[in-house]
Amino acid sequence: MDTCVKSRVECDCPEGYIKCSYMKYCVPENRPDMCPYFKTRKCQKMGQDIAYYEDGICRKNTSIAPNQRVCPIGKVLCADLSCKDNYDLCPVTPVLPSNKIRCADQTITSYAFNCPSTVTCPSPDQVVCPDLDCVDNEVYCRRVRTCPASYPYLCANNACAREYEDCTSSVVCGDLKSLCADNVCREDCSY
């Protein structure tokens, strides 16, 4: 039975893939280590009540959460937050060392607050397109750009690069801040 949803990330993964709980992208079922994993940690700052959120960042209010990343119609969301025509074209990233954590964009680090931040939109019901626009439904996302043969890899920030490793890292806001849709770190993105 067909069902209408706000985004393709709400659909089941194809056979041979599993869905990660955070950012809801599909990864090969033999590579669950490609899902972001954040160790639970204590969040404290000068006696304030600060809560840990599923992206591994400590915030004053857990209702101020990053929004779901999506791709335009006809594309799939890969584990590195880029958009491809199908899951077979998504990059497979290195195995996660036991003493590290994997960020939502496949960056590997020792601490969650070093992970590139994912966008928080003005409304919790919005989704984030590849060009970082916040929209009500992925049908409003602009078409994914086509990269030239000399820079064939489309990065998560919608830029083209020669290799996956050449993609520039995203903004890191750290604890207590969110990356707003205008690419600025703030405590509150509901402007």
Summarised one tens digit per residue, pLDDT across range 50-59 is 777 778 788 7
Residue-averaged pLDDT of the chain: 84
CA distances to 77, 137, 162, 178 from 72, in Å:
9, 9, 23, 24
Q: What is the pLDDT of residues 12-68, one digit of tens each?
A: 999 999 999 989 999 999 999 899 877 666 776 655 667 777 787 887 766 677 899
Of the candidates 7, 38, 3, the one whose C-alpha atom is nearest the C-alpha of residue 129 is 7
Instruction: For residues 148 and 54, give the distance between their C-alpha atoms in angstroms, rounded to a whole number.
Output: 36
pLDDT of 111 > 60? The answer is: yes
Of the candidates 74, 46, 72, the one whose C-alpha atom is nearest the C-alpha of residue 60 is 46
Instruction: For residues 57 and 54, give the distance between their C-alpha atoms in angstroms, rounded to a whole number.
Output: 7
Q: Please check whether residue 73 is in contact with residue 139, taking contact to mean a CB–CB distance below 8 angstroms.
A: yes
Beta strands 26-28 and 17-19, pairing class = antiparallel
Instruction: For residues 49 and 179, give the distance between their C-alpha atoms in angstroms, rounded to a whole number.
Output: 21
CA distances to 4, 102, 127, 134, 154 from 80, in Å:
26, 11, 17, 19, 10
Q: What is the pLDDT of residues 143-188, one digit of tens each?
A: 877 889 898 887 766 778 888 778 766 789 888 888 888 888 988 8
